[in-house]
């Protein structure tokens, strides 16, 4: 069913998308401001269910790409992702009928809404990552056979690049990343042009409305003085994400972070207040793995998020600071992200990790 | 007047283009083989005078870009520059009427001929560099107001990128270089789409037929047991290049060379046989400056070439070796390359050199 987004929905959506961003995807706050301004200007944004998309519609994925740290320093004007879409349409010789988020996590939950507000196109309630991932080939669209290219890339100077690598999505990522680095570390993209039928077959469905719901659950739990983490676990249990659990509550005792190769990479260590246990998180834009010594607690593609211990406000990897009191929260990924084809593209090996993937719900928390 | 190139012309053209390549532009030998194969297959290549191009014709510059050293290792299949042209045409929504060499030097004298043979398009007798230069904004087309972008870039895997930076040719170079580096160090491009009227106003005219003539002069001097350097000087005197002179005859005593940032950079030192004088050459793909101690002998954009001391065979910067017996030959650039606008784009300062430009014919050789 189509949803018309209201101004009040946006903070909830941003909060839920930050949770699904697993520390990456960019801080949604900047996007929230831009999208709110569009609604205040009287523009409307419609979320449509994947089932409502015509099989032969042209759907284009919209996002920013680059190091989230840079987005904070180079705030978008708002035209960039629209120009990318228009240039891709020009290249394809056909206008898009709808847009779809590349990733439902972080700022990238907001970028497609901005495009929707400015173009009047509906946004498909779903995405290609089901969370945030650092690279463009890591999308279920590509996992299940859609070509990521041609891709159009635009920066704040309105420089535009169109890259076509045929069905080779790894090469698309390679060139797009190089271009984004030369564009100053952040760019706005239109990619994975596909049919409505392909959307239905390859997208992770209803992740935008899920983000909205998760964000709302956190807010309502706060208002009702309930534990928001319990409320999240309860809410997830009847979704395709199903399992949500707290891995550790404690204090950030160490953060090592650097911008390299166009990504934010690093590790964070979080210890229980009594110092008896320490969990180390490794991230590339997003959290990839949580380990207690050598013991695995959760690993990509399952979601690992760090949230404020009391308010459950999600904290991005670039906002992690010594002394923050947090809980590490893990969420199981939907089945479409756990197939052998999917794990080959965004499982532990794709990030150079040695561990095999094990479903988070089968790992012990203590 | 239109010239139909004959198989016998190609070695002369390649030799002359290697001289005008001033050490860079890539070794024309690979291109010579590819273009010869086209003519042997019965295809024809027509050079047309700039005056013959219709004012409203669409003319596109064709070239390879990247480190010449890499071209030797990654021999082109021949389709790459044609695919780049076709993709640019598709982007522009208009077919090209003619192609023009980006640079008349080195391998880039041959790449447009390959495109001509495969497409049937005529090649305009002229170019945008009047020699070889290492970067895409260093073209008289751009100096005099033509936008280099949109540019199409293709590699041997048929990956294609189209870059549009509006009138900002420096940014075009920046992104194109980054893409070329990620493509493995060499790519094939179609750029500076322009009208025939713009060609007439901005191109350096008749440089392809000049290359052919210079290469022929060297060969004929050898056959007639004349000094080829004297013959070159004589031949140049009634062209827009006008002055040609030997700066030093001697032996290569030192070469320091590295591939960095997508370029071949380094220095070479050449000493007279009695060791009384040493000239140091600094290069970035092409020779940029020749100095005798602190004394300037020739500086970019004037041409500096190293040729075999006896046969006058040009030696590229990546082929320079200790012990080679050579003459350093300098050639003055045409007036269109010596204006303040031109010197701003490809004069000494554009290469980070401290010296002011001084016409080579006003510098003392001893």
What is the tens place of the pLDDT at every residue in B125-138?
999 999 999 999 99
The tens digit of pLDDT for each residue in B198-253 reads: 999 999 999 999 999 999 999 999 999 999 999 999 999 999 999 999 999 999 99
Chain A residues within 8 A of B151 when measuring between CB atoms: none
- Helices and strands (H and E) in chain B: how many: 11, 18
pLDDT exceeds 70 at position B366: no
DSSP 8-state code for residue A324: -
Every domain of chain A with CATH number 2.40.390.10 lies at 227-357
Distance from CA of A310 to the nearest CA of B (A): 46
B3-205 adopts what CATH topology? CV3147-like fold (3.40.1610)
Q: Determine whether the interchain pair A166/B178 forms a contact, defined as Cβ–Cβ distance below 8 Å.
A: no
Q: CA–CA separation, A58 vs A124, rounded Å?
A: 12
B154 neighbourhood in chain A, CB within 8 Å:
none
Contact A163 B166 (CB under 8 A): no
B91 pLDDT exceeds 90?
Answer: yes
List chain A residues with CB under 8 Å of B159: 163-166, 168, 171, 175
Q: Reduce the secondary structure of B74-91 to three states and give it as a string.
A: CCCCCCHHHHHHHHHHHH
Please give the average per-residue pLDDT across A243-260, as a whole number: 95
Contact between B159 and A179 using a beta-carbon 8 Å cutoff: no
A178·B182 Cβ contact <8 A: yes
- Number of other CB atoms surrounding residue A164 within 10 Å: 21
Dihedral Cα A315, A266, A176, A74, nearest 10 deg? 50
- Identify all chain A residues contacting B91, using CB atoms and an 8 Å cutoff: 91, 162
CA–CA dist A140, B326 (Å, integer): 60
Partner-chain contact A162 B161, CB within 8 Å: yes
Q: pLDDT value at position A366? A: 64
Q: Give the CATH class of A227-357.
A: mainly beta
Pairs of residues, one from chain A and one from chain B, whose beta carbons lie less than 8 Å apart: 63
pLDDT band at A263 (very low <50, low <70, confident <90, very high): confident
Q: Report the C-alpha gap between A153 and B35 in whole angstroms.
A: 36
Contacting residues of B for A176, CB less than 8 Å apart: none
In B, what residues contact A, Cβ < 8 A? 87, 91, 157-166, 168, 171, 174-175, 178-179, 181-183
Q: Answer whether B163 sits within 8 Å of A164, measured CB to CB.
A: no
Interface predicted TM-score (ipTM) of this complex, two decimals: 0.87
What pLDDT band is residue A69 in, cutting at 50, 70 and 90? Answer: confident
B161 closest CB neighbour out of A87, A157, A175: A175
Measured between beta carbons, the chain B residues lying within 8 angstroms of A168 are 157, 159
pLDDT per residue as tens digits for the range A90-136: 999 999 999 999 999 999 999 999 999 999 999 999 999 999 999 99
Residues of A with CB under 8 A from a CB of B: 87, 91, 157-166, 168, 171, 174-175, 178-179, 181-183
The minimal CB distance from A182 to the residues B160, B164, B178 is found for: B178
**Which residue spans of chain B are classified as CATH 3.40.1610.10?**
3-205
Residue B281 has pLDDT above 80, yes or no: yes
**B169 → chain A, closest CA residue:** A159
- Whole-number percent of chain B with pLDDT over 90: 90
Q: Which of B102, B301, B78, B63 is nearest to B194 (CA)?
A: B102
Give the closest residue to A60 by CA, choosing from A10, A121, A136. Answer: A121
Q: What stretch(es) of chain B map to CATH 2.40.390.10?
A: 226-362
CB contact under 8 A, B163 and A161: yes
Place of tokens 């040729």: B307
**Quick one: tokens of B137?**
């904004």
What separation, in Å, do the N-terminal and C-terminal C-alpha atoms of chain B show?
41
| Strands, E assignment, A102-207 | 123-124, 126-127, 151-154, 160-164, 186-195, 204-205
Exposed/middle/buried for residue B256 (C-beta within 10 Å: 0-12, 13-18, 19+): exposed
Q: Using pLDDT thresholds of 50, 70 and 90, give the confidence band for residue A259.
A: confident
Q: Tokens 């704040």 appear where?
A: A156
Contact list in B for residue A181 (CB cut-off 8 A) is 178
CATH domain B226-362 topology: CV3147-like (2.40.390)
What is the structure's pLDDT at B324? 97
Q: Do B91 and A91 touch (CB under 8 A)?
A: yes
């Amino acid at each position: 069913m189509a949803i018309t987004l209201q101004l009040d929905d946006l903070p909830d959506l941003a909060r839920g998308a930050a949770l699904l961003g697993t520390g990456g995807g960019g801080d949604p706050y900047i996007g929230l401001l831009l999208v709110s301004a569009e609604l205040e200007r009287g523009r409307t944004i419609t979320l449509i269910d994947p089932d409502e998309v015509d099989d032969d519609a042209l759907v284009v994925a919209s996002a920013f790409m680059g190091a989230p740290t840079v987005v904070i320093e180079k705030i978008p004007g708002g035209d960039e992702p629209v120009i990318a879409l228009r240039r891709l349409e020009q290249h394809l010789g056909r206008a898009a009928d709808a847009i779809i988020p590349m990733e439902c996590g972080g700022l990238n939950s907001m970028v497609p809404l901005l495009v929707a507000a400015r173009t009047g196109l509906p946004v498909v309630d779903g995405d290609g990552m089901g969370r945030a991932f650092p690279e463009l080939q890591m999308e279920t669209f590509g996992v299940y056979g859609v070509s990521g290219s041609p891709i159009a890339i635009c920066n704040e100077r309105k420089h535009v690049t169109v890259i076509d690598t045929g069905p080779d999505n790894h090469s698309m990522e390679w060139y797009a990343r190089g271009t984004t680095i030369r564009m100053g570390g952040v760019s706005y993209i239109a990619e994975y042009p596909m049919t409505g039928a392909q959307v239905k077959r390859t997208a992770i469905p209803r992740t935008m409305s899920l983000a909205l719901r998760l964000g709302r659950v956190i807010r309502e739990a706060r208002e009702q003085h309930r534990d928001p983490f319990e409320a999240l676990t309860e809410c997830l249990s009847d979704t395709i994400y199903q399992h949500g659990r707290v891995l550790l509550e404690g204090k950030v005792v160490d953060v090592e972070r650097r911008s390299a190769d166009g990504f934010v990479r690093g590790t964070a260590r979080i210890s229980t207040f009594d110092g008896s246990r320490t969990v180390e998180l490794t991230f590339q834009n997003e959290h990839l793995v949580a380990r207690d010594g050598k013991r695995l607690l959760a690993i990509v593609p399952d979601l690992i998020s760090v949230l404020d211990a009391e308010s459950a406000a999600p904290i991005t990897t670039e906002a992690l600071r010594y002394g923050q009191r947090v809980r590490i929260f893990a969420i199981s990924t939907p089945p479409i992200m756990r197939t052998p084809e999917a794990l080959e593209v965004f499982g532990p090996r794709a990030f150079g990790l040695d561990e095999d993937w094990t479903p988070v719900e089968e790992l012990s928390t203590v």
